Chains A and B, each alone.
Chain A
């Protein structure tokens, strides 16, 4: 069968009339063929078009593909044949009230009414507080017990509900129920003044500020054909790598803490702060808020800043290397990391895992290599693939990426970096256009889509955080694992609640 989807590029403006509008059956057949053949779902969402509602999918193989169709009120679920559609179908059911018949786990995603005032697919009454009218996955048997945790956890962490089905200490199944962080971000994107859009994008997930704000900026730049100067691209690349460094180092420290090896936990806790401060050095905010805007960056890498950045990196690099060595050569650490919470390559493929979690399970995909943006096409990003899929693998991928990111930044600041700084202005968007932008943030693939209507207003803004793919990976890692290893596994993924909940 020939592929009826249209091949597109990352960050390309597509006039809406060019996007193939297929019959539902053709849409389904083509989408399933691509994904069953090893493709992945980048985005799959519903959107309003005048009085009707339509579906659109962006899929990826080694290329990007797009097509859409009219949305039926209900349809036979894709998930029964092809798992990567699982959460996307639930999300569409929740947001637009379209029922995927026969979906194996048709449950709400974030607990909110659909935007069309259609009867709720899940029979929830949203005047009732969360949790609503829904079940948790249950395991029956004489010695089975359930452990329920959250939404408020015993630490300074985001809220979510975890339901473990255990036999003794052994976890048979973990169900993760999120939605507590739902702020209605996509709805806000459709309704607020244009000047608020960059601030909203920065606040989807604070630890992925650069990842999300880059996606928004690139999508807007694609739609408006605004060119970004090479200096700004370098500064954006540096910022994305600093974000990766701070988070990976923080997580490695936390992993160390979770196996009670306290020296690296404390050293990395402090060093993580040093990397956050380097983001502050560049843009005045430890999380990179305020830096990226459509058209470029708001802050230059003036020579004094570049010099300080270079000095600080020279000072930090050996410290990072030595603490990494301390952590990874400790036999007590290896004993806890190895073979703990392994996710097989097969399962990772079926779930569509992305980012370090995917790479630790043998999936080499890295958007920096496969769909490079900014300065990445000029950089040589290694594959960073390990196949053991356990906590050790997820830690080791971070280890490799930490050292690479330091080298990337050092290579980018050897020469002066000039750029014409931009302000907070938002350009007007063209009518009837679409763009999708993809970046490899520290957790993996972030994707934003913007679709405009006849008047050039945003009629659909779709956000996808990598955590949307990866939470089920954590649930899979916990199968047949001791419940006391949950914190360790959780930290090895360290997924975003707010990025998922939107």
Chain B
């Protein structure tokens, strides 16, 4: 007992103050890509050729964050002439088109469906469906339950049954073998309900693009309300998206 108490005091209070204050993230973190103005087409082409995800749209000089895995290769090969991956983790969107970006993202709160805030602002119960990713997105959703993020203090929880849920959070590129289970879980959630796509696999197929075993975009089989890009999205990206879109 004494040991338990001693540990409790040593641990102290660890919950971050987000959204009031933004916690510091180490400098090498690659968040929102901001494209340099007046970058030459040649440099963009060079970056596009190097991009392992083919996520750069050369004509528009933009990056598709739905495909991007935030590896930073384009920043590296252009010596930063094309793009800088900033420390900004607030990168989610309500429209898939907005993920194609030069760094100017529409404010998520304004683009959220306002009735969602009314319906779910005080209590949001989510069912997570893991559908064939690499389990990193699941891991960084799971940490939202740890004391540092403490998602429950906002009235948001991950629940065990779709019957208890207001929506589903899908991770992974929805393999052929998980498609039915994903759709059935969606159907089991009572209306009105939301669908959240987390990670580049879920949004476009990500690293598994081109495989006949996957679905290239959750939005091709379900109506998606919120897109959270990343490989995986930082937990703070997830937290920002949930709080801004629903609170």
**Do A and B associate with each other?**
yes
Binding site for B on A (CB under 8 A): 110-112, 129-130, 151-152, 154-159, 179-185, 187-188, 191-193, 195-196, 198-200, 202-207, 209, 263, 266-267, 269-270, 272-273, 276-277, 280-287, 289-290, 298-299, 305, 308, 319, 322-323, 325-326, 329, 423-424, 496-498, 501
**A495 to B28 alpha-carbon distance, docked (Å):** 30
Interface centre among A206, A269, A289 (most CB of B within 10 A): A206
B168-195 interface code vs A (CB 8 A; 1 in, 0 out): 0000110111111100010000000000
Answer whether residue B77 sits at the interface, using C-beta atoms and an 8 A cutoff: yes
Count the B residues whose beta carbon is within 8 Å of the partner chain — how many?
71
Our pick among A111, A277, A308, A498 for the contact of B135 (Cβ within 8 Å) is A498
Contact B28 A184 (CB under 8 A): no
In the complex, are the beta carbons of B148 and A270 less than 8 A apart? yes
Interface residues, chain B, CB within 8 Å of chain A?
A: 3-4, 6-8, 10-11, 14, 25-26, 28-30, 50-53, 69-73, 76-77, 85, 128-143, 145-148, 158, 160-161, 172-173, 175-181, 185, 201, 206-208, 210-214, 231-232, 234-235
Interchain nearest-CB distance for A83 vs B (Å): 27
Q: Could you tell me the distance in whole angstroms from the C-beta of A157 to the nearest C-beta in chain B?
A: 6
Contact status B71-A199, CB under 8 Å: yes
Quick check: B175 and A181 within 8 Å, CB to CB? yes
Q: Are B130 and A287 in contact (CB under 8 A)?
A: no
Q: Which residue of B lies closest to A187 (CB)?
A: B211
**Which residues from chain A contact B231 at a C-beta distance below 8 Å?**
203, 285, 289
Q: B181 contacts which chain A residues (CB < 8 A)?
A: 151-152, 159, 180
**Which of A273, A319, A329 is the most central at the interface, judged by chain B CB atoms within 10 Å of its CB?**
A273
- A203 touching B206 by the CB < 8 A rule? yes
Task: Provide the residues of chain B in CB contact with A193, threshold 8 Å.
Answer: 52
| Ranked 3 nearest A-B pairs via Cβ | A206-B136, A154-B160, A206-B134
Enumerate chain B residues within 8 angstroms of A180, measured Cβ to Cβ. Answer: 131-132, 175, 177-178, 181
Contacts of A267 in B (CB 8 A): 7, 11
A158 touches B213 (CB 8 A): no
User: B69 contacts which chain A residues (CB < 8 A)?
Assistant: 199, 289-290
Whether A423 pairs with B73 at a CB distance below 8 angstroms is yes
CB distance B133 to A206 under 8 Å?
yes
Chain A residues with CB under 8 A of B28: 280-284, 299, 305
Chain B nearest Cβ from A244, distance in angstroms: 15
In the complex the two chains form, what is the Cα distance from A368 to B75 in whole Å? 35
Closest B residue by C-beta to A290: B71
Among A112, A193, A289: residue with most chain B CB under 10 A: A289
Specify the chain A residue showing the minimal Cβ separation from B185: A152
Given contacts A129-B179, A501-B132, 13 further A-B contacts (CB under 8 A): A112-B177, A180-B132, A195-B52, A198-B52, A199-B69, A199-B207, A203-B133, A203-B231, A280-B25, A280-B28, A289-B69, A289-B231, A290-B30
Asked, given contacts A157-B130, A184-B214, A299-B28, whether A207 binds B177 with beta carbons under 8 Å apart, the answer is no
- Residues from chain B with a CB closer than 8 A to the CB of A283 are 28
26 of the cross-chain contacts (CB-CB < 8 Å) are A110-B177, A112-B177, A151-B178, A152-B185, A156-B142, A181-B130, A183-B132, A187-B212, A199-B52, A203-B206, A203-B231, A205-B134, A205-B135, A207-B136, A267-B11, A269-B145, A272-B146, A280-B28, A284-B26, A284-B85, A285-B231, A286-B136, A289-B69, A298-B76, A423-B76, A424-B76
Task: Say whether A280 contacts B142, CB under 8 Å.
Answer: no
Collect the chain B residues with CB atoms within 8 Å of residue A158's CB: 130, 135, 138
A266–B72 Cα distance when bound, in Å, is 33
Counting chain A CB atoms within 10 Å of each CB, the highest count among B26, B143, B148 belongs to: B26
Q: A196-B52, A424-B52 are in contact. Are A182 and B177 (CB under 8 A)?
A: yes
Which chain B positions have C-beta within 8 A of A424? 50, 52, 71, 73, 76
B73→A498 contact, CB < 8 A: no
How far in angstroms is the closest Cβ of chain A from B102? Answer: 21
| B11 contact set on A, CB distance < 8 A | 263, 267, 270, 319
Which residues on B sit within 8 Å (CB–CB) of A198? 52
Complex-state Cα separation, A180 to B174, whole angstroms: 9
Q: Which chain B positions have C-beta within 8 A of A179?
A: 177
A253 nearest CB neighbor, chain B only? B146
A277→B71 CA distance, assembly (Å): 16
Q: Which of B3, B8, B71, B210 has the most CB of A within 10 A?
A: B71
Most chain A beta-carbon neighbours within 10 Å: one of B50, B134, B180, B232? B134
Other-chain contact of B140, A157, A182, A286 (Cβ < 8 Å)? A286
**A497 and B135 in contact, given A181-B178, A282-B28, A319-B11 (Cβ under 8 angstroms):** yes
Which residues from chain B contact A272 at a C-beta distance below 8 Å? 143, 146
Chain B residues with CB below 8 A from A155, complex form: 128, 158, 160
